[in-house]
Chain A
Amino acid sequence: MSTPDPTDVAVAASPVIVESPTVRVDPTKSRARRIAEVVIPPLVLVAVLIGVWYFFSYRIVKRRFLLHPPHDVIQEGFLKWDNFHEILDGLWNTMRVAAIGLTIAFALAVAIAVLMSQSKLIERAVFPLLVALQAMPILAMVPLIAIWFDTKTTSRVIVCVIIAFFPIVLNTLFGLVSAEAGLHDLLTLHHATRWTRLRALMLPASLPAMFAGLRISAGLSVIGAIVGDFFFGRGERGLGQLIRLYSSNTNERELLLAAVIMSALLGIAVFLMFGAIQAAVVGKWYDSKSGGGR
Chain B
Amino acid sequence: MSDTAAALKFDGIGMVFPDGTRAIDEVSFSVGRGDFATVVGPSGCGKSTLLKIASGLLDPTSGSVEIDRERIGYVFQDPTLMPWRTVRGNVEVLAELHKVPRNERRQLAQHAIDLVGLTGFEEHYPKSLSGGMRMRCSLARTLTLRPPIMMFDEPFGAVDEITREHLNEETLRIFEQEDFAGLFITHSISEAVFMSTRVLVMSARPGRIVADYEVPFAYPRSPELRFDPEFAALSGEISRALRGAHP
Contact = CB atoms under 8 A, between A and B. Distances in A.
A interacts with B: yes
Nearest to B98: A190
Interface size class of A (residues with CB under 8 A): 20 to 34
Interface in A163-194: 180, 182-183, 185-192
B56 interface: yes
B93 A200 contact: yes
15 contacts: A180-B80, A182-B78, A185-B74, A188-B57, A189-B55, A189-B57, A190-B94, A190-B98, A191-B97, A207-B84, A286-B83, A286-B84, A287-B83, A293-B128, A294-B80
A186 B84 contact: no
Nearest to A181: B80
Interface in B57-89: 57, 72, 74, 76-85
A282 interface: yes
Main secondary structure, interface of B, reads loop
A204 interface: yes
Contacts of B72: 189-190
B121 interface: no
A98 to B, nearest CB: 29
Interface residues of B, number: 25
B14 interface: no
Interface string B16-48: 000000000000000000000000000000000
A287 B128 CA distance: 9
Interface in B131-161: 134
Contacts of A282: 84
CB-CB nearest 9 A-B residue pairs: A293-B127, A182-B80, A292-B83, A287-B127, A293-B83, A190-B97, A285-B125, A293-B126, A204-B84
Contacts of A186: 74, 76, 80, 93-94
B105 to A, nearest CB: 14
A196 interface: yes
Nearest to A188: B57
Contacts of A285: 83-85, 125-127
Nearest to A293: B127
Nearest to A193: B97
A294 B135 CA distance: 10
Interface string A132-156: 0000000000000000000000000
A293 B134 CA distance: 10
A182 B97 contact: no
Contacts of B97: 187, 190-192, 196, 200
Interface in A195-216: 196, 200-201, 204-205, 207
A14 interface: no
A45 B73 CA distance: 58
